[in-house]
Amino acid sequence: MRTLLLASALFVGLFCSLAAVPIPVPVPYHAFCKTLWLFAVPCNEISTKVVTQIQAFSPQYRLLSTNPLSIRANHTSLDSPKGENITFALNPTILTAGCCVFAQSTSIGFTSLLDGGLNYCNLYNLLSASGLISTPDFMEMTNEWACLGYGLASCKA
């Protein structure tokens, strides 16, 4: 396990510029999912697809802001009327013309720390519906501590 974590950390270090990683702000009692996506595709293409998909999923997803390095949106559903904040931080990769994306979904209301995979699925459904999940060499790195419900979640959208 330790070896795996070290290997992941080295991998991320090689491929992602960590300068742009948002400092994690602790949000106790707000369920969240943080995940890291690596693409062998430039960030501008990733950004276009994510933004287009957020707009296509309106009104459950609402685009709040977008610029070349970040995308902000929110999501609401019958299951979670208070909704979730969603952010993507995009970093061009150092060694390849790819993109490293830190994606996060956080429940706005106070929730049980069992969110049934809601926050994970908010991110996963964008990835899946936009087709980004099947781009060659796509990788996701997260675990059940960084991303509540990861590994249990079966996303329906």
Ligand X SMILES: *[C@@H]1O[C@H](CO)[C@@H](O)[C@H](O)[C@H]1NC(C)=O
Q: Which residue has the tokens 């610029």?
A: 67
Structure tokens, 2: 């330790």
Based on the shown chain and the rule CB under 6 A, indicate whether residue 83 belongs to the binding site for ligand X.
yes
**Residue 22 or residue 131: which is nearer to ligand X going by CB?**
22
Q: State the Cα angle at 11 between 53 and 125, rounded to 5°.
A: 20
Burial 100-130 (b: 16+ CB within 10 A, else e): bbbbbbbbbeebeeebbbbbbbbbbbbbebb
Based on the shown chain and the rule CB under 6 A, indicate whether residue 113 belongs to the binding site for ligand X.
no
**Residue 66 or residue 135: which is nearer to ligand X going by CB?**
66
Based on the shown chain and the rule CB under 6 A, indicate whether residue 74 belongs to the binding site for ligand X.
yes
Using CB under 6 A, pick the residue from 62, 89, 128, 138 that binds ligand X. Answer: 62
Based on the shown chain and the rule CB under 6 A, indicate whether residue 40 belongs to the binding site for ligand X.
no
Based on the shown chain and the rule CB under 6 A, indicate whether residue 125 belongs to the binding site for ligand X.
no
